[in-house]
Amino acid sequence: MNTPLYKKIPLIGIAFLPVFFSCLYSCTARIDIHTEASAPRLVIYGSISTDTMQHSIKITRSSGYFSTSKPEGISHAAVSIRTDKETFTLQESSTEAGLYQTGSSVFGAEGETYRLSVALDFDEDGRQEAYEAVSYMPGTPRIDSIGFRPSPLSDDYLEVLVWGHMPEADGNYLSFHLYRNHKIVNDSLQGFLMTDDMYMDKKEIAGVSCFYLNQEEEQNILREGDIITVRIDGITKEYAAFINAAQRELWGSDPVFSGPPANVQTNIISKSPSESILVSGFFTAFSGSKQTTVYR
């Protein structure tokens, strides 16, 4: 006698259960992936600006991805920054290995091109390797005053606005920095704000919004009497691309299954024949303008 179809279905389901649970187990099995540590990289990072101060170049040896220790500073390097007119020789700090600084009275000039030169024995073979980087110092807007207003986009936000004037745009970028009581607010890579200078490609800057502060977050709340400083820096297109690439590495791929990340491109060039030493970092020159007010 034929069995009705509705009585066969439960038997088929029961027979499938062991296979189903077997698949579940196989999907959650532990997989141990053993990775080899990559060769350490030479990292050179620093800048020169229009500020009169000690300008710094940091030279380190990269550490492993899972390392909890700070990168090792590299001592006994010969470091200089020069233009066609003058040369600044940097001295290593007596308190921090691998930190090289100019004198305290050094400042850069808009329109100049600066060349960083570094000589050191990274692979400790008794012979020094040479590295160079070049950066042009672009101009920057001049800030005359700062203002504040509740954001028309949201009641929870306060806008910081600037007035001033802008030299003719030259295809470079601007970065924005906010200080409250002499302490920078957007001090992280994630908070680094940039825009193409075409955004301000006009002679007069009349109340341009540059920061939106969420007044429900303690670190962004402005209070009566706070000393507020806005700084705008003129940076090169190459440095803006470097920061953008570093931010993408910080935030991760989007969408999740996009292609693998690439190394953040450096402008540090090896002048030595050895190809076994990998180098990362960046050297940049930038100009700056700032204005300070008291929040009322």
Residue spans of the chain under pLDDT 70: 1-38, 65-66, 168-171, 197-202, 251-263, 274-275
pLDDT at 8: 44
pLDDT at 256: 54
Question: Tokens 């027979």 identify what position?
Answer: 15
Residues 282, 45: Cα–Cα separation, whole Å: 5
pLDDT by residue (tens digit) across 141-160? 899 999 999 998 888 999 99
Per DSSP, the three-state class of 177 is strand
Residues 207, 230: Cα–Cα separation, whole Å: 13
Sign of the torsion angle spanned by Cα atoms 261, 131, 241, 288: positive
Residues 127, 106: Cα–Cα separation, whole Å: 31
Say which residues have a Cβ less than 8 Å from residue 119's Cβ, sequence separation at least 6: 77, 78, 79, 128, 129, 130, 131
Length of the chain, in residues: 296
Tell me how far CA of residue 45 lies from CA of 48, 98, 109, 153, 258, in angstroms.
Answer: 11, 11, 20, 38, 29
Q: Are 285 and 135 in contact (CB under 8 A)?
A: yes
Sign of the torsion angle spanned by Cα atoms 263, 268, 271, 274: negative
pLDDT at 204: 76
The DSSP letter of residue 231 is E
pLDDT by residue (tens digit) across 65-102? 667 778 899 999 999 999 999 999 999 999 999 999 99
Say which residues have a Cβ less than 8 Å from residue 15's Cβ, sequence separation at least 6: none
Question: Tokens 């890579």 identify what position?
Answer: 189
Nearest to 109 by CA among 90, 81, 129, 132: 81
Nearest to 72 by CA among 57, 61, 84, 80: 61
Question: Tokens 């962004």 identify what position?
Answer: 220
Q: Are 261 and 249 in contact (CB under 8 A)?
A: yes
Structure tokens at 269: 């060039």
Q: Are 205 and 153 in contact (CB under 8 A)?
A: no
Nearest to 45 by CA among 55, 60, 58, 64: 58
